[in-house]
């Protein structure tokens, strides 16, 4: 499943209630593989054209293909999402947290983009939904401008993948899968 969102309606209702083409994340399916959700924040739709000297020439479609291969190799379905709107991202975080609780998802890989540095609403959504998250950054944010050195997301993330370029998505998917598998063995959901 892949979705990119435009500006959500300002009615206070979920975008899926208004736009039938946007469906909530699946909560349960008989005999379905568990899923991993990859959520991409603002401006990541511009991958391949925005600052290629920092982010490379790989497009968001290329990233989705890489993620789909990695997830499939681990026996996971992939839900791949991108939005430039904070409210839509929060809705997806809530939906993915519900899918984890229902046992149909193992968690999320989240590239928050610029929301990394200031979105307490997204930080609180991750914590409130009890969503296992691997925070991901394509570039080494610690080698860039000072404002990029602090993340409000990191304190609620299970782990962080920074500076490996686009291949970091595969590392993050493998990481969330291993954390999930270890929680099944130990009997403690982390």
What global pTM score does this model have? 0.80
**pLDDT attached to residue 189:** 58
How far does Cα 32 stand from its chain's mean position?
Answer: 20
**pLDDT attached to residue 11:** 33
**pLDDT attached to residue 51:** 75
**pLDDT attached to residue 85:** 96
Strands of the chain (E only): list them.
2-5, 35-40, 77-83, 105-111, 133-137, 159-162
**pLDDT attached to residue 188:** 60
Residues marked active site are found at 55, 137
**pLDDT attached to residue 83:** 96
pLDDT lower than 50: segments of the chain: 6-24, 27-28
Do 107 and 174 touch, CB atoms closer than 8 A? Answer: no
How far does Cα 182 stand from its chain's mean position?
Answer: 20
**pLDDT attached to residue 143:** 58
**pLDDT attached to residue 20:** 35
**pLDDT attached to residue 115:** 82
> Any residues with CB less than 8 A from the CB of 2 and at least 6 apart, and which?
64, 79, 80, 81
Find the distance separating the first CA and the last CA of the chain, reported in whole Å: 26
> CA–CA separation, 2 vs 37, rounded Å?
10
**pLDDT attached to residue 30:** 54
**Domains of the chain as residue ranges with CATH:** 28-186 (3.40.50.9100)
**pLDDT attached to residue 4:** 53
Cα Dmax for the chain: 48
Half-sphere exposure of 153 (CA within 13 A, CB side): 29
The string of pLDDT tens digits covering residues 149-176 is: 668 998 999 999 999 999 999 999 999 9
């Amino acid at each position: 499943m892949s979705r990119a969102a435009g500006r959500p309606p300002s009615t206070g209702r979920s975008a899926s209630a208004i736009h039938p083409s946007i469906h909530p994340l699946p909560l349960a399916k008989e005999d379905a593989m568990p899923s991993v959700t990859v959520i991409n924040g603002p401006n990541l739709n511009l991958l391949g054209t925005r600052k290629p000297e920092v982010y490379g020439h790989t497009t968001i479609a290329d990233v989705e293909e890489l993620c789909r291969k990695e997830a499939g190799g681990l026996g996971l379905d992939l839900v791949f999402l991108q939005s430039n709107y904070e409210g839509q991202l929060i809705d997806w975080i809530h939906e993915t947290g519900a899918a984890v609780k229902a046992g149909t998802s193992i968690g999320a890989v989240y590239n928050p983009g610029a929301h990394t540095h200031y979105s307490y609403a997204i930080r609180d959504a991750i914590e409130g939904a009890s969503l296992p998250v691997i925070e991901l950054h394509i570039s080494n944010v610690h080698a860039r401008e000072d404002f990029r050195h602090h993340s409000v997301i990191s304190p609620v993330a299970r782990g962080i993948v920074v500076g490996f370029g686009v291949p970091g998505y595969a590392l993050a998917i493998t990481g969330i899968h291993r954390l999930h598998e270890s929680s099944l063995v130990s009997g403690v959901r982390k």
